[in-house]
């Protein structure tokens, strides 16, 4: 019979004929057969089942095996013995591998036929051992699923005894961790998911039958997902196990996990990140419940560093895919997709509000969701106000330092040392002040341990290091003001002022020491004094630097203000000249702007200091369009002779005012602009800063001539302009109720080109011939002209010269208070005259007269900005701690309108047509990118560090596993970003808490 059947199935007869004959062969199984005939039929059917070349032969083999096994059970029991089964499981069958699922199919069919036979018990014992061996060998999903199906149908084959059963469960968990889908088509993915479901279902059955195996299995699961081995990434298929864990165990398990001292923070971070990834599993159930419970458990034991770290990690992973996701749902058009898109948009705005300070990441996302409704700030705060996570660690890793080398910009970032973004943003702005940088790099400071030497060292590394980001630890320790608390957020403007003062005073001290000890040096030849003289000479003047007595800070940032106070009773005047390195621009409250007349001092003291401290009240108005008037207080002073002061103060638009007053916005117009009728700009703030102030009431001026308190008018004039004009927009106002400094978030437009009025002494005839229109006829020469041009008590006529400045850098504060938030800066290279010096800007502006600019509808600034961006599209850089990227001036202008918490705070303007630049063709050494050659010791230090960096890169490539074990984030090889409030640059910087209550918020 076996020979007939073998010949039939391999013959070329028609398939219907074959089926008829096979049916008769199967029916003949009922007839008695000898043991040899039965064995021959069993061997043939086994070969057809396992090695049949086509589905027909395999089907015939199964039919014959089942029929003859049922009617000849004793003979089949003798055939299907321990030796056969063990050989199949360990060696396979012929060319068929022992890891082929067909082997298990055959064994399962054989077990069904001998279930009532005594020998089946022996096979059960064998399969208990072999099942454990198979799962230890990490079977592929098809084989593992087939094994679990067999064990599910025959639970007697499951390993018995607590030890073996526990080992089986743990090894099966690890086998699932190695699962990977072999295809990407839908049918293949569905098959893969069904295989995983089969395996996880067996584990559920084991846990239910033997509850003692559940907890060790979960411990094994956590060990797998918390491992830091970068060579192995556990499969997302592990998510299929979560649905089988009883929800009643959440409280106990989470408490045990979060309080276990043996669980390291890095392991917990890794595990939590992978659990969040499980949300992508198609049939994931209760995963979000466990993740949220774990987040809350970590918050309960104040392990905030883990929460913040995981949050930052998931932002970087999800943000790049948001735009594609939004477009996908828009194309879908289904009602469910629209509803989901609405929820996603809400979460996106919450994310941007919560994690401000990354405009280059968020701009494409905002563009994608611009047509969707934006939630109100109150709603976003409500969503984010469930809990605030405050890091207890002083070393929260940065999510920004991901790359191993310099970015495409060629610029070097600065590693955040723990809430040091205030320093990093200022240093990058100073570094991008090209003339200042070149002067610093050209100084001969060998042997000097001054702060300037450390700044030179920092600038040199920023210019020449191969690292993506440099850690300025030495400079930070040397330059940090003593009252600044380490690792807490500080005011960058306060730091900048302290730094410039330190550098200025240090150079003055060394120069004074040098000049005072000259004679003693000649007489005594003392070595220590020689060293002091050497230190005093290190600040040697660079070419074109002007007076020998001025320090480098004075030459680059120093200007002069003249303050004049005129008694309104006797017309006597008091004048005072003061130096400044920056101007802090305060704002008058809108309520006091509604009145007509000069601004009034509200302080109890006369404002004699030209630099208003940063805790002064400041307000601004929203607006994006640059103002039409680019000149600041651009005309001559208001005529202050007898009989005109009162008229000017009460009738600012009267004909007695000079034509130059067109450049000084009258107070009524200014008040209208400041209260929001027109966009507010830096020009308006400077106009207000230079506008007259009336000292009255409790703030009256003591006049020595009148010998009593009198009403007076105070004016300030810039009489000497700096090379770099630093402007601080005072955005922090003190709230007496809450005792904190709140931030004014209103927008202020930034003109790319600014004209600053500098009022220098000049003769009357020079004024007329020089083109300063003062509202008089040319024929009106003599006594009348002198009366009109010479104010009471003044010895000379002062007429402004409009000095053009170009925007160089903008330091942005992201947040809602001065005690928290994040700083970053926009900057570009602006040099002296020439093709690289942006001199074409001045030419463009000179085509329009100052008066015409006030009357034209379109701002000349806008024209210049568009020209510049067209000609040099990649001249602007965004410095965000370790990250440096290209950006544009449009991004600088729109930063506050796109990200309401991100506002311009400190501005650097470079004077145009300056003659203080370096000659880069100097024969003193090789100039690199326009910078002077470095001193040999600096160049050696940089070369040594670059070699060390290359060695570190090679070592890092060989020891990635070690690196991952020591840091919770594999793409953050160095550097630390800021901690949370107080002084937050972290995820709650200005945005409040970040608790999670729904799975949707796990993206944050």
Which residues are identified as catalytic? 421, 822
Token pair for 721: 């302009």
Buried (b) or exposed (e) across 328-339, using 16+ Cβ within 10 A? ebeeeeeeeeee
**Does residue 503 contact residue 455 with C-beta atoms inside 8 Å?**
yes
610 phi, psi to nearest 5 deg: -70, -25
Taking each helix axis as running N to C, give the angle between helix 120-136 and helix 141-153, from 0 to 180 degrees, rounded to the nearest 10: 150
Of the candidates 229, 206, 114, which has an alpha carbon nearest to the alpha carbon of residue 158?
A: 206
Of the candidates 206, 210, 73, 190, which has an alpha carbon nearest to the alpha carbon of residue 148?
A: 206
Ranges of beta strands (E only) in 815-890 are 822-828, 876-880, 883-887
Longest dimension (CA), the chain: 146
Token pair for 455: 């700044």
CA 154, 156, 157, 163 torsion: positive or negative? positive
Of the candidates 214, 387, 267, 259, which has an alpha carbon nearest to the alpha carbon of residue 988?
A: 387
Distance CA 668, CA 651 (A): 10
Ranges of beta strands (E only) in 770-901 are 797-814, 822-828, 876-880, 883-887
**Does residue 439 contact residue 556 with C-beta atoms inside 8 Å?**
yes
* Residue 903: strand, helix, or coil: strand
Identify the DSSP state of 489: -
CA 451, 453, 454, 455 torsion: positive or negative? positive
Question: Strands 822-828, 876-880: parallel, antiparallel or unpaired by DSSP?
Answer: antiparallel
- Mapping DSSP onto H, E and C, the string for 436-467 reads HHHHHHHCCCCCCCCHHHHHHHHHHHHHHCCC
Long-range contact list for 30-35, CB < 8 A, 24+ apart?
Answer: 30/71, 33/1, 33/68, 33/72, 33/75, 35/75, 35/78
Of the candidates 482, 507, 504, which has an alpha carbon nearest to the alpha carbon of residue 553?
A: 504
Question: Strands 822-828, 732-735: parallel, antiparallel or unpaired by DSSP?
Answer: unpaired
Token pair for 706: 């009148």
* Distant-in-sequence, close-in-space partners of 364: CB < 8 Å, separation ≥ 6: 323
For residue 34, count other CB atoms closer than 10 A to its CB.
9
Query: H-helix or E-strand containing 584?
Result: strand 583-585
854 phi, psi to nearest 5 deg: -75, -25
């Amino acid at each position: 019979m076996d020979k007939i059947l073998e010949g039939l199935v391999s013959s070329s007869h028609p398939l219907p004929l074959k089926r008829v004959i096979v049916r008769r062969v199967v029916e003949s199984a009922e007839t008695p057969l000898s043991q040899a005939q039965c064995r021959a039929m069993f061997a043939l059917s086994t070969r057809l089942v396992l090695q049949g070349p086509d589905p027909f032969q395999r089907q015939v083999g199964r039919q014959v095996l089942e029929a003859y096994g049922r009617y000849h059970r004793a003979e089949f029991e003798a055939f299907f013995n321990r030796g056969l089964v063990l050989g199949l499981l360990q060696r396979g069958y012929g060319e068929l591998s022992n890891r082929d699922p067909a082997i298990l199919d055959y064994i399962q069919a054989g077990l069904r036929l001998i279930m009532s036979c005594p020998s089946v018990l022996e096979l059960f014992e064998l399969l208990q051992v072999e099942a454990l061996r198979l799962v230890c060998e990490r079977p592929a999903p098809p084989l593992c699923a087939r094994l679990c199906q067999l064990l599910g149908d025959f639970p007697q084959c499951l390993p018995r005894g607590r030890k073996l059963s526990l080992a089986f469960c743990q090894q099966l968990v690890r086998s699932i961790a190695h699962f990977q889908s072999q295809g990407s088509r839908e049918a293949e993915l569905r098959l893969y998911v069904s295989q995983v479901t089969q395996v996880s279902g067996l584990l559920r059955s084991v846990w239910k039958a033997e509850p003692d195996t559940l907890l060790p299995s979960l411990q094994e699961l956590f060990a797998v997902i918390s491992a830091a081995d970068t060579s192995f990434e556990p499969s997302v298929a592990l998510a299929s196990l979560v649905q089988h864990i009883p929800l009643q165990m959440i409280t106990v398990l989470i408490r045990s996990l979060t309080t276990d001292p043996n669980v390291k923070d890095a392991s917990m971070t890794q595990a939590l990140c992978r659990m969040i990834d499980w949300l992508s599993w198609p049939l994931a159930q209760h995963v979000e419940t466990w993740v949220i419970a774990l987040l809350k458990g970590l918050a309960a034991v104040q392990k905030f560093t883990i929460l913040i770290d995981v949050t930052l990690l998931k932002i970087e992973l999800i943000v790049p895919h948001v735009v594609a996701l939004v477009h996908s749902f828009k194309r879908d058009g289904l009602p469910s997709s629209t509803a989901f898109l609405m929820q996603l948009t809400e979460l996106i705005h919450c994310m941007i509000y919560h994690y401000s300070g990354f405009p280059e990441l968020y701009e494409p996302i905002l563009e994608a969701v611009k047509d969707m409704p934006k939630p109100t700030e109150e709603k976003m705060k409500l969503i984010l106000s469930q809990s605030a996570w405050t890091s207890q660690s002083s070393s929260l890793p940065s999510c920004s330092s991901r790359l191993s080398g310099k970015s495409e910009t060629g610029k070097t970032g600065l590693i955040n040392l723990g809430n040091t973004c205030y320093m990093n943003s200022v240093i990058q702005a100073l570094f991008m002040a090209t003339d200042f940088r070149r002067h610093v790099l050209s100084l001969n400071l060998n042997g000097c341990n001054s702060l300037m030497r450390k700044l030179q060292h920092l600038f040199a590394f920023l210019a020449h290091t191969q690292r993506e980001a440099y850690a300025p630890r030495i400079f930070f320790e040397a330059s940090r003001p003593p009252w600044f608390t380490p690792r807490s957020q500080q005011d960058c403007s306060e730091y900048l002022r302290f730094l410039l003062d330190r550098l200025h005073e240090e150079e003055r001290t060394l120069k004074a020491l040098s000049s005072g000890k000259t004679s003693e040096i000649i007489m005594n030849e003392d070595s220590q004094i020689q060293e002091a003289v050497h230190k005093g000479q290190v600040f040697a003047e660079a070419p074109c630097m002007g007076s020998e007595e001025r320090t480098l800070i004075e030459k680059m940032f120093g200007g002069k203000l003249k303050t004049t106070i005129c008694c309104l009773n006797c017309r006597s005047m008091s004048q005072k000249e003061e130096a400044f390195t920056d101007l802090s621009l305060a704002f008058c409250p809108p309520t006091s702007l509604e009145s007509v007349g000069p601004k009034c001092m509200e302080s109890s003291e006369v404002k004699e200091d030209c630099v208003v401290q940063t805790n002064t009240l400041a307000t601004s108005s929203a607006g994006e369009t640059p103002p039409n008037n680019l000149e600041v207080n651009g005309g001559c002073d208001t005529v202050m002779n007898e009989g005109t002061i009162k008229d000017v103060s009460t009738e600012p638009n009267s004909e007695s005012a000079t034509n130059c007053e067109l450049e000084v916005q009258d107070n009524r117009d200014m008040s209208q602009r400041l209260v929001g009728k027109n966009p507010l700009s830096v020009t308006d703030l400077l106009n207000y800063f230079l506008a007259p102030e009336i000292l009255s009431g409790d703030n009256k001026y003591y006049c020595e001539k009148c010998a009593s308190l009198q009403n007076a008018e105070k004016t300030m004039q810039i009489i000497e302009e700096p090379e770099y004009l630093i402007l601080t927009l005072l955005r922090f106002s003190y709230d007496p109720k809450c005792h904190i400094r709140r931030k004014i978030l209103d927008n202020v437009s930034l003109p790319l080109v600014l004209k600053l009025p500098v009022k220098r002494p000049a003769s009357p005839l020079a004024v007329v011939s020089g083109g300063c229109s003062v509202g008089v006829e040319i024929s009106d020469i003599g006594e009348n002209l002198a009366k009109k041009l010479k104010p009471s008590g003044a010895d000379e006529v002062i007429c402004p010269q409009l000095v053009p400045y170009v925007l160089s850098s903008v330091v942005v504060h992201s947040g809602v208070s001065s005690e928290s938030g994040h700083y970053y800066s926009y900057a570009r290279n602006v040099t002296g005259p020439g093709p690289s010096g942006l001199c074409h800007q001045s030419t463009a502006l000179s085509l329009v007269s100052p008066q015409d600019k006030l009357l034209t509808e379109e701002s000349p600034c806008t024209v210049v900005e568009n020209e510049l961006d067209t000609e040099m599209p990649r001249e602007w850089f965004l410095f965000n701690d370790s990250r440096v990227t290209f950006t544009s001036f449009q991004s600088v202008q729109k930063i506050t309108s796109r990200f309401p918490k991100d506002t311009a705070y400190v501005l650097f303007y470079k004077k145009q047509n300056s003659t203080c630049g370096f000659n880069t063709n100097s024969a003193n050494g090789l100039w690199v990118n326009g910078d002077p050659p470095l001193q040999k010791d600096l160049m050696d230090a940089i070369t040594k560090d670059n070699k060390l960096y290359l060695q570190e890169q090679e070592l890092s490539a060989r020891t990635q596993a070690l690196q991952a074990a020591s840091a919770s984030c594999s793409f953050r090889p160095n550097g630390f970003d800021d901690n949370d409030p107080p002084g937050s640059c972290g995820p709650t910087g200005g945005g409040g808490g970040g608790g999670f209550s729904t799975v949707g918020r796990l993206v944050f």
